[in-house]
Amino acid sequence: MATIKDIADKLGIAVSTVSKGLNGASDISDQMRQLVLDTAVEMGYASKKMKTTGNRKVCILIENMDYENIDQFGYEIIVGFKLSAARRHWDVSVVPSNLTMQTAEKFDTYMLKNGYSGAFLLGFTLHDDWVKQLNKTSVPTVLLDNYIERNNHVGYVGTDSYEGIDLAVDHLKSLGHTRIAFLNGSKNSMVSEQRYQAFVGSMAKHDLNPLEELIEYGYYVPDCAKYHVPKFLENGATAIICASDLIASGVIAEVMKQGLKIPEDISVVGFDDLPIAAQLTPSLTTIRQDRIDLGKSAFLLLDGLIHNVTISKLLLRAKFIKRQSTGMCKTQ
Amino acid sequence: MATIKDIADKLGIAVSTVSKGLNGASDISDQMRQLVLDTAVEMGYASKKMKTTGNRKVCILIENMDYENIDQFGYEIIVGFKLSAARRHWDVSVVPSNLTMQTAEKFDTYMLKNGYSGAFLLGFTLHDDWVKQLNKTSVPTVLLDNYIERNNHVGYVGTDSYEGIDLAVDHLKSLGHTRIAFLNGSKNSMVSEQRYQAFVGSMAKHDLNPLEELIEYGYYVPDCAKYHVPKFLENGATAIICASDLIASGVIAEVMKQGLKIPEDISVVGFDDLPIAAQLTPSLTTIRQDRIDLGKSAFLLLDGLIHNVTISKLLLRAKFIKRQSTGMCKTQ
């Protein structure tokens, strides 16, 4: 593990300058500080520094996810995380991230500079620069719904899609549905891939045929429904499982636009159980992700990583919530 | 949720008798106490009682697993669990279990009677009566290496077999091995099934052929090697991955008995990294399960379940430990 002297030697500067850079003293230039921090990170000094600091500060970095009010997916996750963190006397900063931040400096440098002992990343994708850097980071980091291979400092928290989708297929089969469609979220997302596998696996387990013409990738927005719902209906779907409640809200609108009734003609199932699910007409049968628990678990995982317990994955149970958007299959 | 009065009404006895039964007073008969407890469990009173009790008592129930000294698989798991539990001020009882206990009373009754708020089950199999009852239990329970579907009160802790086996295949391929054999543990064990899938998946990912004649199920004991190693050698294996260090110790003995050298003729990889791994001749390259961390994580999970955070799975990273039992493939 690199020492302050190693960093000073490498840069050909005084130990005191390195120390000033690491501690954010005001009498060195910003450029010099950046150089010191980048070198500290590169030489593996960062993690040691962060572990021995007395600070108990972690951050939630958010991108591409709404979180400002309770109707939005990120809100309760942050609440849950803060609740668990507060119980263990950790400070939590919530930091909206963007492309500029990620190109301005490396993830490890950002964390070191701000004195954070760990991070929870919400809404990031595998294409984000900071996520790409996680293969090598030594900063304890937790990702929602994304998995980094072979790095003991990074963990993944999420909801068990398999069991959730399996409960939905179970329910629909018990209502007589066999031609069940699946409108997934975005391609190239780990969680979409998991839900696809879950759907195909659960259909097979229930002796039902997962039909190619009834499975589509969309996006995690309501609008994607209008491209896929007409095709599902043409192909004889009697029920549609959606990879999010937002997609399901679009599906409900599109099915009604086609002059069909829910659940009399078509059953619809969502995923997430956002507050909107209960407010839709008809109210949405859905697979609940407990977002408070996701946040609490993310902190548990991060706390583990900070204390060198190398947790790789932590999955929560999905809960099945029956409401009004699913009913007996007519064409049975 | 049933009340004490509900139980009294159902049994046609006084509330005070129910109360005595639940609290273990000495002035009612053992038979009456058993009846009260069984009824309390059946009516769903148990979990409420256990949650509101001031006791902070959990237990580790062990079956079919050695744990009495540091050379044995269970020892450090228990240490890790106790360390985490002590930090949160929970008492831990370690209870060797057996068939008689399991037939004498139901799991939930046992837990209620002894005032435990949760249990960690080590070494149990899906055939055990108490494990079969876990589909319905409302007692927070954590299983090592076994998964119970659709019960929010039960969680599973283990090591990520996939990544562990993948690291081993990676290593062997880099040494020029292509005819890699896999000697698995017992059939009908969830963890054996996972390791089988991991082996086949990782071989495919590395453009290697998982050959049927080089994959066998054995048992988690050294002795199983003598049945399978001769066949592997006949079929041209140059490396053998084993599902445990104990199996690997048997494989090393058998390979040597056949007049071959390790690693010059045959490479051998274990799984677990028990203390024995470093002591074997040659010392064993293996996939490490960090048992202290498994124990710590099991407590974290149990603590979560007790506080209604419905964690389903918690997996730890496997670590790859290179020692002397693997080397370059001669027949490359």
Query: A310 and B304 in contact by Cβ < 8 A?
Result: no
- Out of B160, B290, B310, the one facing A290 most closely (by C-beta) is B310
pLDDT of residue A50: 58
Q: What is the layout of strands, in order, in the sheet containing B319-321?
A: B215-217, B180-184, B239-242, B267-272, B285-288, B319-321
Residue in this structure with the two tokens 């492309």, named with its chain if needed? A99
Tell me the fold of A1-44: 434 Repressor (Amino-terminal Domain) (1.10.260)
pLDDT of residue B315: 97
- A54-159+293-316 CATH pick, 3.10.129.10, 3.40.50.720, 3.90.1210.10, 3.40.50.2300: 3.40.50.2300
Tell me how long chain B is: 332
- Out of A150, A293, A313, the one facing B313 most closely (by C-beta) is A313
- Say which residues have a Cβ less than 8 Å from residue A23's Cβ, sequence separation at least 6: none
Which part of chain B has CATH 1.10.260.40? 1-43
Classified as helix, coil or strand, A118 is strand
Residue A149 sits at the chain B interface (C-beta within 8 Å) = yes
Residue A145 CA neighbour count, 13 Å, CB half: 21
Count of CB atoms within 10 A of residue B23's CB? 12
pLDDT of residue A54: 64
Here the ipTM equals 0.84
Could you check whether the bond before residue A96 is cis, i.e. omega within 30 degrees of 0? no
For testing contact with chain A, the best of B170, B288, B300, B306 (most A CBs within 10 A): B300
Give B-chain residues touching A314 at CB under 8 angstroms: 311, 313-315
pLDDT of residue A135: 95
Cα separation, B68 vs B46, in Å, equals 32
Distance from CA of A152 to the nearest CA of B (A): 7
CA dihedral A44, A47, A53, A59 (to 10 degrees): 130
Query: Using one digit for the tens of pLDDT, what is the confidence trace for A278-304?
Result: 999 999 999 999 999 999 999 999 999
Stretches in chain A below the pLDDT threshold 70: 1, 46-54, 332
The amino acid occupying position A167 is: L
- Out of B150, B167, B312, the one facing A315 most closely (by C-beta) is B312
pLDDT of residue B191: 92
The amino acid occupying position B173 is: K
Query: B311 and A314 in contact by Cβ < 8 A?
Result: yes
Which part of chain B has CATH 3.40.50.2300? 55-159+293-316, 161-289
pLDDT of residue B47: 55
pLDDT of residue B234: 96
Looking at chain B from residue 211 to 230, which residues have their Cβ under 8 Å from any Cβ of chain A? none
Per DSSP, B160 falls in state -
pLDDT of residue A26: 77
pLDDT along chain B (332 residues), means of 10: 85 88 80 83 68 78 91 93 92 94 94 94 92 95 95 96 96 98 92 95 96 94 94 97 96 96 98 95 97 96 94 96 96 62
Residue A135 sits at the chain B interface (C-beta within 8 Å) = no
Query: A311 and B312 in contact by Cβ < 8 A?
Result: no
The superfamily in CATH containing domain B1-43 is lambda repressor-like DNA-binding domains (1.10.260.40)
Query: A163 and B317 in contact by Cβ < 8 A?
Result: no
- Out of B152, B300, B310, the one facing A300 most closely (by C-beta) is B300
Which part of chain A has CATH 3.40.50.2300? 54-159+293-316, 161-289
Cα separation, A200 vs B277, in Å, equals 41
Instruction: Supply the CATH classification number for the domain B55-159+293-316.
Output: 3.40.50.2300
Give A-chain residues touching B290 at CB under 8 angstroms: 310
Architecture of domain B161-289: 3-Layer(aba) Sandwich (3.40)
Residue B56 sits at the chain A interface (C-beta within 8 Å) = no
pLDDT of residue A51: 57
B31-37, long-range: CB < 8 A, 24+ apart: B33/B113, B34/B105, B34/B109, B35/B11, B36/B7, B36/B11, B37/B109, B37/B112, B37/B113
Query: Using one digit for the tens of pLDDT, what is the confidence trace for B55-111?
Result: 789 999 999 898 988 889 999 999 999 999 998 899 999 999 988 999 999 999 999
Paired strand residues for B241: B182, B269
Count Cβ atoms within 10 A of the Cβ of residue B95 and give its class: 0-12 exposed, 13-18 middle, 19 or more buried.
middle
